[in-house]
Amino acid sequence: MIRVLMVCALLSGCAATPVPETIRVPVEVVKPVYVKAVPPGELVRPYKPVDIPEFVSPADKSAIVALTPEGLKNLQVILRTLITRDEAWRAWARKDSE
């Protein structure tokens, strides 16, 4: 009799349990999404110097650091413009990250 009960207990443990029905419901999950900031137009526009300095031979009488005086002025304008643009990019990037 005990053996019959043990066999019944074993067999009942092996019986398949019904799988609950899965119900799928769409759920909106709100999470922060990175949005790339758009830089100002004056920073995006490519820089093209108007007056490109003309390098001359250091032996030339009009040469100052291998540039004519006008070429030196043009080079200074280009360097100031590039430095200003770099500072503007850095200021814009800092403002966006704060």
- Residue-wise pLDDT for 8-49, tens only, equals 776 666 556 677 788 889 989 888 888 888 888 888 888 888
Residue 37 lies in a domain: no
Residue 32 lies in a domain: no
Residue 84 lies in a domain: yes
pLDDT for residue 88: 92
Residue 3 lies in a domain: no
Domain count for the chain: 1
Residue 40 lies in a domain: no
| Mean pLDDT rounded to a whole number for the chain | 83
Residue 83 lies in a domain: yes
- Residue-wise pLDDT for 52-74, tens only, equals 888 888 888 877 788 888 888 99
pTM over 0.85: no
Domain that holds residue 91: 51-98
pLDDT for residue 57: 84
The Cα–Cα gap between 75 and 66 comes to: 12
Categorize the per-residue pLDDT at 85 as very low, low, confident or very high, splitting at 50, 70 and 90.
Answer: very high
Residue 30 lies in a domain: no
pLDDT for residue 79: 95
What does the longest C-alpha to C-alpha distance in the chain come to? Answer: 124
Residue 45 lies in a domain: no
The Cα–Cα gap between 28 and 35 comes to: 19
